[in-house]
Amino acid sequence: MGGAAALFVGYIMYLWLHGGRGDFVTYKEFGIPIPSNYAIHGIDVSRYQERVSWEAVHQMEVDYIKLGFVFIKATEGTNRTDPYFQRNWKKSREVGMVRGAYHFFIATRDGVEQAKNFVHSVKLESGDLPPVLDVEKTFGIPPAQLRKEVQKWCTYIEGYYGVKPILYTNADFYTVYLQGYLDNYPLWVAHYLQPHQPRITRDWAFWQHSESGMVNGIYGKVDFNVFNGDSVAFRSLLVP
């Protein structure tokens, strides 16, 4: 058997031994299949992960897969702050992880007032990820009104920080309520159990591919994400 053929067979055996499915390889350490054709991996956390040991998170590495970034819940609505945000924000940067903060959007509340809640809590520094708006529920308001308030939040945030925010949503919500709108903002999309990438019709920056991963230093399950690009593209997204 030639060298190239032997390498190919070895790779197939590697996928089989690790429980590979398509472009995914299952790692018992993470507890989930990981999409192997993406180089930059990360997680997102909120109060549900409680007190995180960030040093353990940052040190975890399995077959060259290392968690390089984290999105951290900061605020919700017009007056709520995640009780673990400030600790997570400080400790994740101290260990060397690239961090980003997100706001959970309450569609019945004014977008500008929600943006003010976010900026009151989040002080961005060079090397951080742009702010994120998590919009995944209508709370019963018409789609046009939802998009209007989302746009108000995004406009205020971009004016305050000088960077375009990222929109987070799930694939179904995007298709029904956001498709064809707000396309000038980077997209972070949740779509689980997909073989290659989220099934949406526009470009995306981040993919939340699982909600049930395991990480050293975190009690319970955690969301896993990948970045859609190489290290150069990733660095270009960060706050200058």
Catalytic residues: 44, 136
The neighbouring-strand residues paired with 76 are: 80, 104
Instruction: State the sign of the Cα–Cα–Cα–Cα dihedral 172, 174, 180, 183.
Output: negative
Q: Where are the alpha helices (DSSP H) in the chain?
A: 3-17, 54-59, 85-94, 111-121, 143-161, 171-173, 231-237
Task: Report the SS3 class of residue 72.
Answer: strand
Instruction: Spell out the residues 6+ positions from residue 79 whose beta carbon is closer than 8 angstroms to its own.
Output: 117
Distances (CA, A) of 6 to 1, 10, 16, 20, 63: 6, 6, 15, 19, 20
Report the C-alpha gap between 150 and 203 in whole angstroms.
19
Helix (H) or strand (E) holding 213: strand 206-213
**Which pair of structure tokens corresponds to residue 13?**
């055996």
Task: Report the SS3 class of residue 113.
Answer: helix
Please return the burial class of 190, using the count of CB atoms within 10 Å of its CB with bins 0-12, 13-18 and 19+. Answer: buried
